[in-house]
Structure 1
């Protein structure tokens, strides 16, 4: 079993949802970002989404766009993101790592060299938001052949005609975007999210993670009652940015602040079904 499948099987046996934090790799700089990445499992992260910075992040709200700009300004690249995964794996062989971003950096590196490097680094999954199912031969199928899960997004507008195409080659889990918009917006209501989770689980047979707009422990707990996983990104990056503004010369404050924010969110997710 893959690390992703193993982790979800463990969580199912424990009757609890997964907490999946999102961080932008290289934000605010490589070393601080790596420290924070290494701290997340201890704060309660069950899986980790690691953003790959890109100059034109069309699916992201302002918070994550600015995080990507900070990372790019600090010299972050796709290769340096893979280097971070290598460094993380020196201490943690169990926590699944999913790279989330856009196709352009992968295309620039080359699909075959990227998949070789990602596999060797210990990447477990990919979320490439601008590659639709019609382009599965481009990256999705080669990634799965290399042993890397390709995780697809479903949205409130994914109707019954579109859904079979979305889930056809999806593996690992399905990511339900609970808003029809960009990251950081308000998430959907409890009943609509619950209905969507049940629909996607029935159609795909895979775990369903819910993200986009989950910002508070209360909301994370609410979503975790029905979802298999809760993804939080903008709230963590907002905490990072605020701390960075207040103490730009002390990166340890950034790490400790975001770690504590993650811990509270993880605690809410993990106790939602108690």
Structure 2
């Protein structure tokens, strides 16, 4: 699938589901849009927490066309979430009606980018097989605060067959701009996750715990969690699992 054609379908509101498995090999990004007054704090937050918030691009105030894609970030993601004063307000298919010239957009790396590499390595992705949004969980892993932004990390979970865990680590480690290697393996309770069947975002995935182990990667939904505590007047993000698909192939596929 060509990224531009997929984004056009999203712009026309013909596709609004998860982007996992779409345009394999192309970089996908999370999106965070904030009024200019909060930008320094959030930029510092990303720099201090590069694992969950690896910056791909920071756009100018009011800019709607990113450098990484021939796209309009107001319309070309499948779903958006709007937070007002730290509370989730609504989920929409485009943000044209709420766009302001003082909005600054951050594009943050996403683990969907390396999923094709996992598949190429013979590692099954149960959320794709089961046609679900990858499960994501709030954790007790603390983040380094910056200005108004603080909180704990959000992680995405993929159950990896036990004999393929080392392979998954080796593959994902080289994708530093897409969260890189996992932050935790097994024992979800050690990072504050009490029920794998009840994710905070996304959908639960079925797997045999005798044959596969839950592996947790830092997740770009982390800023949404931080916003609940920072309470900016307005913050717009992608809906979890619904990314911007860029026009850039990740060079790790060529080098891998």
Instruction: Give the helix-richer structure, 1 or 2.
Output: 1
Query: What TM-score, normalized by structure 2, do the two folds share?
Result: 0.32
Q: Relative contact order (C-alpha < 8 Å, sep 6+): which is higher?
A: 2
Task: Please state which structure has a larger fraction of its residues in strand.
Answer: 2
